[in-house]
Structure 1
């Protein structure tokens, strides 16, 4: 007989195999279903766990040198995109834990239903359980189950009584209306049935003396934090239950060269060496990986990095570091980089149009640039809850992991765009008008009032970026995107704005980008040629002169969230929120074309008379 084969000795504990619970696109892991968000899979609900529990052994690495240094990481990783046989994946945990049975109306923790193994069913009714529609969360990102017992017993217990009655909770819907009044909660202890009406009031939970529990269920083994914030009731699928904080950057020279990405794993070692050491290191690297690098080029890159770090804005915190990123992009977009000076690996090509731009001079446009190739990296830095992300609002950033990691989830997109810049001298002269300053001051005051209402402390109220220059550029970008969506064949949701607006910048980049390596096919760049851009710009301004909601729109004293818009509505200049950097805020088309009473307010009013 053949002897049995020798048994292999186990070298370690077998990796636990978790069942697959659905899938989402990679881009959604950054913008929609990132860490801390709740995902509905069939009739179940889960919360996405922190990046320290992800399996990303097969996930590609993304390098964007400038953004990584600002965010304090070494690199970025694409969220896993794998099949059922792969070990890659994002872990999730069941949340919320309170469920109800639509047949027997039982409302309790999911583990008390005695569900069969691998199923989410009521053990008595064999009916699929329904996750709680409601959760409670605070502005610091903590989230927990809604306190159903305290809500139902709020008028039937003593102030000092913290125990439970021992009864069983019930939840049913009367069906009379679609409001919260029809969602009814009862208990077998005999209390009167109560509805969920009023649960979403700002002080509803604090009136019950329900305090934030400091729970972070998306982080494994995370300690409970002490929190003084008042929790709010939210719907599980509400947009304010999870809002991503995404930081972006364009790849610009010298870091846009495709060969530079091959050196990214070695920068930490190269920074510690002198010129001779760098040359020896590169020779060894060439023998090992069959790459050829120039020591002079590496030294020049390190010098450029030191020059960026020595900038005056770097000393004033992360906000100014992000502004510095924009200024570097602005300068490079003005300078350009012709296609003749690049190769196929280069990720940035920007050059002036072939035809003369003299036809744009009456409109105050200076030097349009055609960005024929661009790469943008979008990294998920953190997320927020409850507080709406507005322009530079000082919201709390909830962490993606228990301990800081040396990477962040991100995605890269390839595309093209058109860069436009306004004549700064003409812009400053126009902004000095009393009527222009009055309209902008109205927007600014409304925005500051909203920021004060949402600030946790009076000392932490951020300044509003609203200025005549910024509002004008922002509204012009919206008008052009709407026009190109009609004339160029691009859906408005596929175009994005990137504003460069402060005392030293007056430009905007309108781009389209996809996650495909080929990007787009040049249709947007063709729209930037002056012979096409001039009639498109004129058509956009003429279209902005009239809105179907006028005269209410143009005479508005404040519209949008917090009244931070003036003449702006969905019938004229508002865009899909994926296209706008400022959540459709800080807009006023009167600054483009003026008002019927005072056309001089419009920056382009004289050009439209020609």
Structure 2
């Protein structure tokens, strides 16, 4: 990872080539989930913003394919982030210095990095030889724009003609007497001073006439657009500065199997018959080893072309809900392992034992997912509040100046266990009045949060917000957390290496717990073994027994709102909350009261036998 230095002019007056400075290395997965495009990354005593996709060297970004996810996001393919081996590295993900303002802890000078007389590539004060400190504060809006905090306008607020115009030298004093913003004081050479107290209030910024400048410093040309969203002050290291908009999909039949996977990966459906014939001849040995004949390739290509023509005629709308429905059907149906197919990336089989031990827990079906592949793509990002589920928010910030036809993604392989609850029992349970009343508390809390966000968004109406929360979804989500907690203890996997995938809809009532990780913990066989009926029954009994009591009870069970934005009920870190890498809903929409009931005597428990 490196940043692009400014072009310098030589003795001939011509600009010299830009010199790239290598700053360090991060994992490929981090460039999608943690340090993606537009995020801030701290390296030693410096701060940078990860540049857009149009600055990537695509020759170091291998291409990967997942047809269903590509259709959803409107791209042709995906690329792994550039992360070459250290000894072979030519380039990597680019970063740009941001914020520009730095301060010296010795002389207290606050100015841009270029104004310091730095020694070579080290971020040190040329006068004091002290390491510089990047600005703690930045200004960002919900539209994704980000810029420097306006220190000059802040220190001269309400001071007449000098407001934001005075060019006196700035200093940043930190009294250290307290941790409050009142002890952080900005001083100007003209004699004006102002503490940072109140800098995080939107009203204060609005009264000072501070508006969003529409800056996008991560994009290639630092585009500036008109923006009517109110800006807000953020801590540079705050998690709210960058929230990824992630989309993922499992590779399921037919496109995950054998010839289909090969044709999709090599883009043979778009090639001529001559090119396909040449490919088959050139890879004869590899195809024979995988049990694939040339006629199989031509047959699958013809099927794909026919399917594409039908899709264009029918104009099928691909949505996250339709992707989940396809995955659910594949998990319920299963896919037997074929020993002659080395390209098969999805193996889902029923257990050998009887499901009778699970009848007590209303489990209608169990499938052992012995092999799966998941592609996780970074589609955009937001600042401030996290993205909503609909994925259609106008505040999603772009990853590049123009559409490139691809997005950054990672592919991970693993194993898992899928279980489906009895549809008839769950339908009777979710229609109970006590259950609906309890879940309505979560739904109303969620709607309040959505209305509050919509009120700050000029492009949304508070009357259009809806909440997807249903009793079925909260039940399945909480049960998934209980299983992950148990399997992290019994199966030897760290909880952070297990992930959930919830299938909650009018005709769906399933949970997939899987170990899709990019390290060796992904396919050891230990999780599949947990899905055997007798062992799964013991796990459910133990997990539900633990869910009956929390060390924070009765406060936890009787809570009317808890967690981020108050969209949980009986859920805390002592009972069902998980590492956020394991939960697809950021530890929201949980309530163990729906599993085992509460102390009020209401008819809530889906598993009343455990009470």
Q: TM-score, normalised by structure 1?
A: 0.91
Match status 1:54 vs 2:56: yes
State the alpha-carbon separation in 2 of the partners of residues 502 and 302 from structure 1: 32
Alignment of 1:239-318 (within 5 A): 239-257=239-257, 259-264=259-264, 267=267, 270=269, 278=273, 280-290=274-284, 291=287, 292-293=293-294, 294=296, 295-304=298-307, 314-315=316-317
Give 1:284 shift: 3.3
- Report if the CA contact (8 A) 1:57-1:88 is conserved: no
State the alpha-carbon separation in 1 of the partners of residues 439 and 310 from structure 2: 36
- Report if the CA contact (8 A) 1:377-1:412 is conserved: yes
State the alpha-carbon separation in 2 of the partners of residues 522 and 289 from structure 1: 32
- Report if the CA contact (8 A) 1:20-1:84 is conserved: no
Give 1:304 shift: 4.9
State the alpha-carbon separation in 1 of the partners of residues 142 and 133 from structure 2: 27
- Report if the CA contact (8 A) 1:378-1:412 is conserved: yes
Instruction: Sort the Cα spacing of 1:348 and 1:15 in 2 relative to 1 into closer, same or farther, 3 A.
Output: farther
Match of 1:573 in 2: 576
Give 1:394 shift: 5.9
State the alpha-carbon separation in 1 of the partners of residues 565 and 334 from structure 2: 39
State the alpha-carbon separation in 1 of the partners of residues 105 and 16 from structure 2: 39
State the alpha-carbon separation in 2 of the partners of residues 119 and 258 from structure 1: 53
Match of 1:553 in 2: 556
SS in 2 for 1:114: coil
Match of 1:170 in 2: 171
State the alpha-carbon separation in 2 of the partners of residues 168 and 406 from structure 1: 47
Give 1:517 shift: 7.8
Instruction: Sort the Cα spacing of 1:381 and 1:393 in 2 relative to 1 into closer, same or farther, 3 A.
Output: closer
Instruction: Sort the Cα spacing of 1:424 and 1:117 in 2 relative to 1 into closer, same or farther, 3 A.
Output: same
Moved more, 413-422 or 299-308: 299-308
Q: Of 304, 319, 328, which residue of structure 2 is paired with 1:321?
A: 319
State the alpha-carbon separation in 2 of the partners of residues 571 and 307 from structure 1: 52
State the alpha-carbon separation in 2 of the partners of residues 407 and 376 from structure 1: 17
Structure 1: unaligned runs, 5 residues or longer: 1-12
Match of 2:376 in 1: 378
Instruction: Sort the Cα spacing of 1:15 and 1:422 in 2 relative to 1 into closer, same or farther, 3 A.
Output: farther
- Report if the CA contact (8 A) 2:60-2:92 is conserved: no
Match status 1:152 vs 2:151: no
Instruction: Sort the Cα spacing of 1:14 and 1:132 in 2 relative to 1 into closer, same or farther, 3 A.
Output: closer
SS in 1 for 2:516: strand
Instruction: Sort the Cα spacing of 1:364 and 1:27 in 2 relative to 1 into closer, same or farther, 3 A.
Output: same
SS in 1 for 2:60: coil
State the alpha-carbon separation in 1 of the partners of residues 138 and 242 from structure 2: 12
Moved more, 496-505 or 201-210: 201-210
Match of 2:106 in 1: 103
- Report if the CA contact (8 A) 1:391-1:582 is conserved: no
Give 1:223 shift: 2.8
- Report if the CA contact (8 A) 2:596-2:605 is conserved: yes
State the alpha-carbon separation in 1 of the partners of residues 509 and 373 from structure 2: 22
State the alpha-carbon separation in 2 of the partners of residues 129 and 421 from structure 1: 56
Match status 1:226 vs 2:226: yes
Give 1:593 shift: 0.7
Cα deviations by residue, 1:389-425 (Å, 9 ceiling, x for unpaired): 3544764210000000111111111100000111111
State the alpha-carbon separation in 1 of the partners of residues 50 and 577 from structure 2: 32
Alignment of 1:98-247 (within 5 A): 98-158=101-161, 164-191=165-192, 193-247=193-247
Instruction: Sort the Cα spacing of 1:519 and 1:487 in 2 relative to 1 into closer, same or farther, 3 A.
Output: closer
Give 1:562 shift: 2.5
Give 1:283 shift: 2.0
Give 1:301 shift: 3.6
- Report if the CA contact (8 A) 1:243-1:383 is conserved: yes
Match status 1:529 vs 2:523: no
State the alpha-carbon separation in 1 of the partners of residues 276 and 400 from structure 2: 35
- Report if the CA contact (8 A) 2:153-2:164 is conserved: no
Give 1:222 shift: 4.0
Give 1:439 shift: 0.7
Match of 1:45 in 2: 47
CA RMSD, Structure 1 to Structure 2 (Å): 2.2
Instruction: Sort the Cα spacing of 1:15 and 1:508 in 2 relative to 1 into closer, same or farther, 3 A.
Output: farther
State the alpha-carbon separation in 2 of the partners of residues 163 and 154 from structure 1: 8
Give 1:427 shift: 0.8
State the alpha-carbon separation in 1 of the partners of residues 526 and 355 from structure 2: 19
Match of 1:29 in 2: 31
Instruction: Sort the Cα spacing of 1:171 and 1:222 in 2 relative to 1 into closer, same or farther, 3 A.
Output: closer
Give 1:56 shift: 2.8
State the alpha-carbon separation in 2 of the partners of residues 296 and 374 from structure 1: 25
Match status 1:448 vs 2:442: no
- Report if the CA contact (8 A) 1:141-1:385 is conserved: yes
Moved more, 585-594 or 250-259: 250-259
Cα deviations by residue, 1:344-387 (Å, 9 ceiling, x for unpaired): 32110000001001111221111100000001011111111012
- Report if the CA contact (8 A) 1:333-1:350 is conserved: yes
- Report if the CA contact (8 A) 1:393-1:462 is conserved: no
Moved more, 303-312 or 461-470: 303-312
Equivalent pairs counted in the alignment come to: 582
Give 1:118 shift: 2.5
Instruction: Sort the Cα spacing of 1:262 and 1:253 in 2 relative to 1 into closer, same or farther, 3 A.
Output: same
- Report if the CA contact (8 A) 2:562-2:569 is conserved: yes
Cα deviations by residue, 1:153-190 (Å, 9 ceiling, x for unpaired): 113235xx665223111102111112212211111101
State the alpha-carbon separation in 1 of the partners of residues 558 and 70 from structure 2: 45
